[in-house]
Structure formats: C-alpha cells, structure tokens
Structure 1
C-alpha cells in the first residue's frame, strides 16, 4: 500500500513508520522539514496548518491510507478533510483517551460514550494559541473527530490512544517526575480518591496503528492494553528500578502527579478485540517499559 504519515517522526510515530516499511508498504512522511525522515521513506515538506502549502506539497499524489499523527484541532481537521478527501481511500486519525475528559464512571468507557456526530464544533476558538490548545487538548481532539464524522470525505477511524509508556525516547518527562521524587523520598501528590487508568506500551500502539492502517473498519476505536494501572503500581515498579521510597500524599486541591486521576475513565477495548486485535496485559510489559525510559537517563 501507498501510505502517508503526517507527523510521526518521533516516539511511537517512528515505530509505526518502521513497521509499515518492514511490511513492504511505500511510506511518505509529511512534516515542516525541521527534522529528517528515516531511510526508505519519501519526505514531503509542508505546514499542515496552511492549506495552500499542503496542497502544493502533495501535488497529484494519492494514497491508500493517511495516518494523521498530529491532528489536534477542528481547524486542522477541516483542512485535512478538504485536501485529503480526493487523495486517499482511508484516513486514520490518532486521537486520545482525553476525549473522555468529561466522563466519570466506574464502568470502563466504550466508544459510544463520545459520539463525534453529536459534538459541537467551534472553529472560532483560539486554536492557534499554544497555551489554549494545551489546556483544551481533549476538546480539540473531540472536535477534530467531529469534523470527520459530520462530513465524511473518506472512510476514517479515530484511534483513541491510552496513556503511553515505554521507550528510551519518551519525551514527556512523566516517568522521570516519579523517579526523581521516589529516589529522593519526596511526596507525590495524588487525589484523595485516586482512580487507576488504562495504558499501552509504546511498541503496542505502533503495532495497533499499523494494523488499523491495513484494516477497513471505521469510526472511533479505543486502544489500550488489558488491565488498568494505579499510581501505586507504577511507583512500585519505578522504586524497584531506582531505589528510594514512594511517598504518596493525598491533596484535596491543586495539581496532582501525572498518572493520578480524580475521576474514573478507564477505557473498554472490546471493540478492537472484537475486530481481531490482540492486546497484551499491562503487567507483561510494565517493567520493561519503565526500564527502557529510566535506563536512558
């Protein structure tokens, strides 16, 4: 297949690229040109926020599948729908568990809890403001999904990715946040009622996205390993790796540590498993994932 990946030159995106190349696909990577691309790929340079730039870079190219790793706003989705509509047979958007940011249920959340066809889109919000976008990450993804659902220009799926762990190139700093405090015995802020959440190993989400690119299902799909993880379970593994002592401190107000959640919104992955994907259990990869990240420090 002829596949275009928008963004995807770092973390699980580069793993996805490697998998697709190894499977014999032709892969083009589109970015702003600030970084190179892996050997064997076609490099296209464009600002995906600039419709004319995107049109010019793509020219008369067409694709079997587009995997969009960096669609964060409804404005970006509108441009993608218009430009890519005539150019691809399938579109895979990397979405997020954070589309469920308004959910709070003890029952794992299924895809229908957020139906993008019912989500209101507001293109006039300050989506180009980095601070606003960071504070409205989940809402941006919800509205981006809604654009594709309201006016489908191609068969599409939105992969709602759980929190990702693993890899020496984990750039988020979240695991290191815990390691530093555990090593020093400093308190780790958690909510008074701290809910577990769903996670996925970096290699597993790359595998899932490659599988989704080759499949033909449509609509939202949750992607996460079996077995939610609590803050305490993650900290226990980190403590074993770095030494020190885990001190969890409950707080009623204020900022909590990255893998602490005052609400319950663990996802349900039964749609993906029913479609044929086999997830691993989080306990199978947690030690390896944290060792990869901490070993790089």
Structure 2
C-alpha cells in the first residue's frame, strides 16, 4: 500500500542528471525522500547529484545489468525518464511489476494529436501517431503498452506528460546554445511560421513540484497528468526575451514550417516544426493542481532567461555554439533570403 509520508518514501530514478530529472532528484532529497539513482556512472558535469543520493551503476537499456544492480530491492516509487519505445516499456513491466508500489512513466505532451482542435490541452485531448516526429510516436506507443499492463495486470502506473521543459543549462530554443550565441552576436535567427503561435515553457524546477508531489500518492495510480507551467508566449516573444537578457535586440526572420524539412531534413528540430512546436500548445493543469495542491510554478521565462545568461557566463566550456547546428541555422536563414530575393526580383520585373 502506498503512503504519502515523504520522509519515508524510497524512490528510484532511472536517469537523474538530465534536464528534467536533476531538478526532481534535488527536490525529492530536499523533501526527505530516500533517493536512489541508476545511471552509467557518467554524471552530467552541469547537474551533479546532491549529497545523500545512492547511485547504482547500470545501463538502463541492459535488462540483465539493470536487474542485477537492483537485486531484490523494492521501492515505493520508480520514476523512469529514459523509457522510450514498446520493447522498453514491456521490459519495465516485467522488471518493476514486483519491485515498485508506483511506477511513474515520463511520457510527452508531444503525443497529443496535431493540430490540436481545442485548447487548452487536457489529459483527455486525443493522442495520435505523429508522422513528422518519430519520438512522439514511440512515446505514445510505450504509454499504450504500460496502460494495457495497468488494466490487465494491475501494473501500478502513473503517467506524466511534460511539455517543453528546460533548465538553466539547456535553453528551450531549437538549436540551444548555438541560437543564444547567434542572438548575442547579432546573427539572424530563423523563427518558424510568422512567430505568433503560442507555446508553453516550463522550468524543470517548477515541473519537479508536480512530479514529486505525486510520488507515493495512491490516488495517482492509473492516472495521467499534464505537468506544465502557465508561462505562455509567442515564439517571437521567446527569442526577444533571450535577446533582452543578453542586452541586444534579437534579429528574427520568419520561415514557413514546411521549409525546415526541405532545407535541413536530417535536423531533429525540422520534424518538430511540423509535428509539434509549429502548433500552438496551451495546457489545462487543473488535474495536477487538484492532486498536488502545492503545485505553483514560479519561474517566468523572463526570470529564467536571465539565469540562463548567467549560466552561460559561468560555464563557457559547456555552452559553446555547435558547428553543425550553426551550419543548419545559417542554411535555413540563407534559404529564407534566397526565396525573398526571387520574389523581390519577380516583383521588380
């Protein structure tokens, strides 16, 4: 039987130093939970584990190695940030069915059918395979396997769907620190569509409030939760805010979403332009607020952008621009100008 006395909860995190998971681990420790993290022993230098966390060394993708590392131990809650596809989901059911009183699957809000026919997006909004985004399709299928295991086997599942979650070390921009660098030096930034679609941003510290609040709660078994903030901006505003934090004016050019896969077919974010971030996404968080009354996101992107600029200043080695990403962004901006020049020439003829 689950209990909700945080000081006595034993929690296992699969993945604990990532963009989202690091904040959740920190808050779990601060709350008094006994936290164990499974990773391969190569902690992200920007997101070290707090004191008091037990580390088990294993590759989560290796069933035998993971089972050996865990042994016969059981946990009040297991939180999996790394589960991705059908086969992986099935492995988790087999491994943690007898070892977890609650299994929290970190899914993704990208699984909601696009375009969304009604906003805000609630947990009952239809999901669908995403032909433009293999990641979203795989996440949806994994979630379906786990839901079936809950219904047929009593697997103690809680599903969490984050949307675009970031932290100080990982800016929520297509292209990451390379985009920040371009803004800082005055290079043009491609923005999909006309820059006015609405997008929800959530800092990992705020996401952690909702996730940690669900751990050990028996009412959360069998339930699905959107965990996002209420920080909604247009994409033009997002880039402009980063520029303001840097003390410069962001130079934006608007590129049709359909152009990205044509100009940069191998770039991950090209699929995102058509399959996810090219659409407006505003979320209904009534359910998580009901189950976790203390859930109250505090970090607006204006404040977070200033923190990210400070992080960039203090961590120059890990916030450098990436040459491949720079080339992609330059190519997309070049395609925009080439198309504009063609039509300008036609207009002058």
TM range (shorter): 0.7 to 0.9
SS in 1 for 2:120: coil
Equivalent residue runs for 1:258-273 within 5 Å? 261-273=277-289
Q: Please name the residue that 2:191 is paired with.
A: 189
Per-residue CA shift, 1:12-69, capped at 9, x if unaligned? 3222112212222111111123338543122212222222222211111001100111
Per-residue CA shift, 1:81-116, capped at 9, x if unaligned? 10000001101111212112534234221112246x
Q: Please name the residue that 1:285 is paired with.
A: 300
Equivalent residue runs for 1:136-285 within 5 Å? 136-152=134-150, 153-167=154-168, 169-170=169-170, 174=174, 175-183=176-184, 184-192=186-194, 194-216=196-218, 217=220, 218-252=222-256, 253-255=258-260, 261-280=277-296, 285=300
Q: Please name the residue that 1:96 is paired with.
A: 108
Is the Cα–Cα contact under 8 Å of residues 226 and 279 in structure 1 kept in the other structure? no
User: How far did 1:172 drift?
Assistant: 6.6
Tell me, in whole angstroms, the C-alpha distance in 1 between the residues paired with 2:171 and 2:239.
19
TM-score scaled to structure 2, two decimals?
A: 0.72
Tell me, in whole angstroms, the C-alpha distance in 1 between the residues paired with 2:38 and 2:292.
30
Is the Cα–Cα contact under 8 Å of residues 173 and 179 in structure 2 kept in the other structure? no
Could you list the runs of 4 or more consecutive aligned residues of structure 1 that deviate by over 4 angstroms after TM superposition?
171-175, 256-260, 278-282
Is the Cα–Cα contact under 8 Å of residues 213 and 292 in structure 2 kept in the other structure? no
Q: 1:148 to 1:265 in 2, by over 3 A?
A: same
When the two chains are superposed, the root-mean-square deviation of aligned CA atoms in Å is 2.8
Higher CA-based Rg: 2
User: In the alignment, is residue 72 of structure 1 matched against residue 72 of structure 2?
Assistant: no
User: In the alignment, is residue 53 of structure 1 matched against residue 68 of structure 2?
Assistant: no
Tell me, in whole angstroms, the C-alpha distance in 2 between the residues paired with 1:5 and 1:166.
18
User: How far did 1:279 drift?
Assistant: 4.8
Counting matched residue pairs gives 280
User: How far did 1:177 drift?
Assistant: 4.3
SS in 2 for 1:110: coil
- Indicate the structure whose relative CO is greater, using CA pairs within 8 Å and at least 6 residues apart: 1
SS in 1 for 2:300: helix
Tell me, in whole angstroms, the C-alpha distance in 1 between the residues paired with 2:90 and 2:234.
37
Higher helix share: 2
Tell me, in whole angstroms, the C-alpha distance in 1 between the residues paired with 2:31 and 2:294.
18
Q: Please name the residue that 1:128 is paired with.
A: none
Q: Please name the residue that 2:10 is paired with.
A: 2
Q: List runs of 5+ in structure 1 lacking aligned partners.
A: 121-133
Q: 1:173 to 1:192 in 2, by over 3 A?
A: closer
Is the Cα–Cα contact under 8 Å of residues 166 and 172 in structure 2 kept in the other structure? no
SS in 2 for 1:267: coil
- Greater shift after overlay, 183-192 or 26-35? 183-192
